[in-house]
Amino acid sequence: MTCMERSEIKRNLTGLELRVGTRLPWSVYSPQGTLLLTEGALIRSEKQIERLINIKAHYFQIPAIGVYTSSSAPKHVNTDRVSTFVIIHTLLERLEECFNLFLQNNDGDRFIRRTLQLVLDIQGVCEEQADGVLGTMQLIVEAPHGLVHPLHAALMCEVACRRMGKGSLERLPVVAAALTHDLGMYEIQQELFEQSSPLTERQRRIIDRHPQRSWELLKQRGVTDKQWLKPVLQHHERLDGSGYPAGLVGDAICSEARLLAITDCYSAMIRPRAYRNQVPPRDALREIFQQRGSTIDAELARLFIDIMGIFSPGTLVQLTHGELALVTGRGERHGQPPMVLLSNRLGERLEQPDPFILQDSADIKGIARIQDHAELLAMLGQVWAPMTPVPSAQ
């Protein structure tokens, strides 16, 4: 394996590469190396392009060396298919459109239709490649929290419900609930995400009330399905009665809300906040395991950990000799997930991701943050097999 010369691939943005309405073919960074936009992000305006140029943003361009799909698949670029990053950004944009319809408060039927269509899109991408979308979701750290958090929860609910044997119609309201469970505090979510100071009294009131308010607002927009509404109302209830808004205990909490509570907690923990670093995925899973049977449903906690794997897709790890590798799937055996090697023991990036199966979890020295190795994102579009584009919204 040889390494790439970074001088050959680093490019400063000139503006000629970008057009409004197109998607980035690579990730974009500030001069300090901070990730600004991941591959697949939509260029929305000329002002956005101008801002990127003014701050002297750059990207890493990788020569056309093929796309890793699997050990048996041909390694070539299929222009009819797109990377998992494009898939996730498309879903985030569709969710934002749904929320904008919700906030307009004048067309509840259209909001419901678009939300349910997004659920069908989520079901489709998870059926095609669950590992890829879950892993990519975990790697996208620059998207607004009010969008990335509910989408992540929805993807995990879809995968979990499918594992439980639920049919597509049974899964539909659960995933819709995951997408909309925080609408009652949507207007302050990014504010809270970026805030390092203590909560204000107003913020605390909104947080405490948001399950009830989300439920009320959804009903006002015309949602009548109890399998959608009930998990939204109960997703912060806890088995021991310590949750809110009603302090429900045990079987009074529906199973869908218990599942949503787990995905909600996991997604929140693994994303950094202004007042704390992100919790490594393995530690978040350990916390869920420790809470099983007390505040969290024990059976669903075991199911969730089994689904995500000890090292969930999208986890960046450092191996014992210093190499960096990315977990790409959940694997057939615990502790032996499929991975790709991204850099050698000298910290030099490889020409392309090198797939392997981890044989011994002791070979993992520690968990790394993708924010600290943002240049590696330039090659992550090659990690998972290209996917069928999400159909155009109706």
Q: Report all structural domains of the chain as residue ranges with CATH numbers, in order of start.
A: 1-61 (no CATH), 66-308 (1.10.3210.10)
SS3 label, residue 141 = coil
CB 341 within 8 A of CB 363: no
Give the model's pLDDT for residue 169: 96
CB 103 within 8 A of CB 220: no
Query: From residue 105, how far is each of 215, 217, 229 by CA, in Å?
Result: 15, 9, 18
Alpha-carbon span 353 to 203, nearest angstrom = 44
Per the DSSP assignment, residues forming a β-bridge with 366 are: 318
Q: In tens digits, what is the pLDDT along the chain, a chain of 394 residues?
A: 444 444 446 888 888 888 998 999 888 888 887 788 889 999 989 999 999 999 999 888 765 433 333 333 334 344 588 999 999 999 999 999 999 999 987 789 999 999 999 999 999 999 999 999 999 999 998 888 899 999 999 999 999 999 999 999 999 999 999 999 999 999 888 888 788 788 899 999 999 999 999 999 999 999 999 999 999 999 999 999 999 999 999 999 999 999 999 999 999 999 877 666 778 888 999 999 999 999 999 999 999 999 998 889 999 999 999 999 999 998 777 778 999 999 999 888 888 899 999 988 889 999 998 888 877 887 888 899 999 999 887 6
Note the pTM of the prediction, 2 decimals.
0.89
Q: For 353, list phi and psi in degrees, rounded to 5.
A: -60, 135
Using CA of residue 385, residue 386, residue 391, residue 393, what is the dihedral sign? positive
